[in-house]
Structure 1
């Protein structure tokens, strides 16, 4: 199953690959070069298909937990001052996505969308310290009656040239449901209450809509 954001690119890629096969077969007489070109075209097609794949995820809905918004690797767990919405200290947990990860963004919690804003910006590498403030990005805040307010921020990387955000103000959203899509490598930041129980470690691989990032403090 492929994501709707990739349908146009996939069709164009199929046309390019088929045309490349035909041209290589008819105009290149060197056998090894012809085979090499066909293999390269095949690999290119496979890369595009795997990038836009959209596997079904069964999220275990739990208002006391925060799920990972994306597939990738945890690269930041630290206390920071969140400037845009909370304007106070929060726990930041960031997940970096490579081009081979599934790039669907999912709601880490269910509830009401109370903030959704797009920011144009630069395309610094996603792990750059200033990427969360200077790169193209979208910020979404979902208010959950039990957990509270959770902010997730899609951040474009050096290769990601388009962020798609489905979250609209006053939407009622389901935990694990699709919040958006980022094309070609990037990262997503989560901003959580300081007393959150973190359930992941640095460099841990996580699965969007499945892996538990954090849990409410029982106290």
Structure 2
């Protein structure tokens, strides 16, 4: 198999996934010893776990005035909504883009556009289906309030889903991150909400497939086309 073909199927894995893959592999061995067909099922689940924690390199667009998707998945909601109070973004509705991640998507999260993280705020909650509108309010979440170089602010919120039981965020208050830079990860099915600054135009639609760090989701300048 050529190097290019290998890179198509074999992706780097985030360190967070190593212990889970090891657990799945150990269970697969035990299942194989119990009954060979069960071992093959365990092997399939081990491969799935590896792909769940994949962390491929992404080619983030370099042009100015854009925001990129923070997550792989499908746009499930696109509507005005008041951002979580703990982010300090005010009480006025902001355009919210929700990206739903299934258990088959890559779950490493990336910053939509460059800026300084003013605040990282975690709030415990429920574990409803992340595709539901009320998940934004009721579910466990972790949000980042970010100030761009021009002074405008936006929010990006990690939301736990029906089977997600751990939100990871290795970014802290005061960090300066580049567009497309990794800031966190959610285990096993979840959602990302992006709250756009006033006057910013979304360039996506409901049902559209997103690629974290690559798909342009919003126009900051009024000149970007879909």
Shift in Å, 1:91: 0.5
For structure 1, which segment, 79-88 or 123-132, has the greater mean C-alpha deviation from structure 2 after superposition?
79-88
TM-score, structure 1 normalization? 0.90
1:93, 1:191 within 8 Å by CA — same for their partners in 2? yes
Shift in Å, 1:180: 0.3
Shift in Å, 1:39: 2.4
For residues 147 and 69 of structure 1, the distance between their equivalents in structure 2, rounded to whole angstroms, comes to: 20
Matching residue of 2:5: none
SS at match of 1:201: coil
CA RMSD, 1 decimal: 1.6
For residues 129 and 28 of structure 2, the distance between their equivalents in structure 1, rounded to whole angstroms, comes to: 30
Shift in alpha-carbon separation, 1:89–1:198, aligned structure 2, 3 A: same
Matching residue of 1:2: 13
Does residue 168 of structure 1 match 2:172?
Answer: yes
Does residue 16 of structure 1 match 2:24?
Answer: no
For residues 84 and 211 of structure 2, the distance between their equivalents in structure 1, rounded to whole angstroms, comes to: 28
2:213 maps to which of 200, 206, 209:
209
1:189 maps to which of 180, 189, 193:
193
Deviations 1:25-75 (A, max 9, x none): xxxxxxxxx3x3132112111211111111111212344111100000001
Gaps of 5+ in 2: 1-11
Stretches (4+) displaced over 3 A: none
SS at match of 1:11: helix
More strand by share: 1
Matching residue of 1:28: none
Greater Rg over alpha carbons, structure: 1
For residues 62 and 145 of structure 2, the distance between their equivalents in structure 1, rounded to whole angstroms, comes to: 18
Gaps of 5+ in 1: 25-33
TM-score, structure 2 normalization? 0.87
Matching residue of 1:115: 119
For structure 1, which segment, 58-67 or 135-144, has the greater mean C-alpha deviation from structure 2 after superposition?
58-67
